[in-house]
Amino acid sequence: MTQSQQLKQHPLIKNGWFKEVNEEHFPGQGFALQVEEVLHTSRSQFQDILVFKSVSYGVVLVLDGIIQCTERDEFAYQEMIAHVPLYLHNEPKRVLVVGGGDGGVIREVVKHQCVERATLVEIDKTVIELSKKYLPEMSVAFHHNKVEVVLCDGFQYLQEMAVKQEDQKYDVIITDSSDPDGPAEAFFQEGYFQLLRGALKDNGILIAQASENVWLDLKYLTQLVHTAKTVFPNTKYCYTMVPTYTSGQLGLIVCSKDESLDLTVPTRQPTPEEQDQIRYYNSSIHSAAFVLPTWANKLINK
């Protein structure tokens, strides 16, 4: 048996197919990708990590059995979670990314010419190292002169930010956390939104991946939006289309301290240089992403 054949014995890979099944969050359904080669498998201090090359989606990063990104469609997620808040802000200079150790979000952040500093807070150094090795197009910004990487717990970092002066806080905060299982569950609670509010400037914008979408668990999603609104009255839900996320859609929650700001309409437009580097996001899709089906809109935006 070859090394590749041996690696295919990974518990999540059977008969050459990786299968993502999570009965707690995605009951009664699953997602599968055909595996060409397993590149890496290990257990870091915080999570199980699998990296493989798929037949049709390129290199795939899997954490605790859940697909985080693939080479083919990652930009649909990275661009929306980064550019929606950044183009809502008049002049974002200081940006904080919590999570996102694959580097995709900060790659998008530094495309904005007005950004002066992008701080990435990631707890798992192994994810960063593996992304640099196996996902070079996503991790390219780790060496950018505007990027600062802080290896620590996101909660700890935000707690320290709470006592900072206004000019040391952030114009935009992007929460690119894992799904709400185990330790990551705290990233979806009211206390976390309070910490985020404390780290934002008065005109700051926040975006957080919502894990769920209207097809998976509308009740949970409605509760999550309500939780965010207890801290940020100006809160909206939008989404992006990503084929390799279960059901092909991923929700995003956008918040602002400014209750008069229309979150559905970008304040700035991409410069020609910025637009040349963007494949998914544009001002029209920004607004369209907030338009929900009637039955979902009645619950989420009630």
Q: Is residue 178 within 8 Å of residue 64, measured between CB atoms?
A: yes
First to last CA, the chain: 58
How far is Cα 224 from Cα 237, in angstroms, rounded to an integer? 10
Catalytically annotated residue among 153, 176, 179, 202: 176
Q: Looking at beta carbons, which pairs linking 258-267 to residues 24 or more positions away fall under 8 Å?
A: 258/202, 258/203, 258/234, 259/233, 259/234, 261/88, 261/234, 263/88, 263/234, 263/236, 263/290, 264/236, 264/238, 264/290, 266/84, 266/87, 266/88, 267/87, 267/88, 267/89, 267/90
Q: Which residue has the tokens 């080479």?
A: 71
Annotation marks residue 176 as catalytic: yes
Report CA-CA distances (Å) from 198 to 164, 192, 209: 9, 10, 19
Q: Which residue has the tokens 């990786």?
A: 18
Which helix (DSSP H) or strand (DSSP E) does residue 182 occupy? none
* Residues identified as active-site: 176
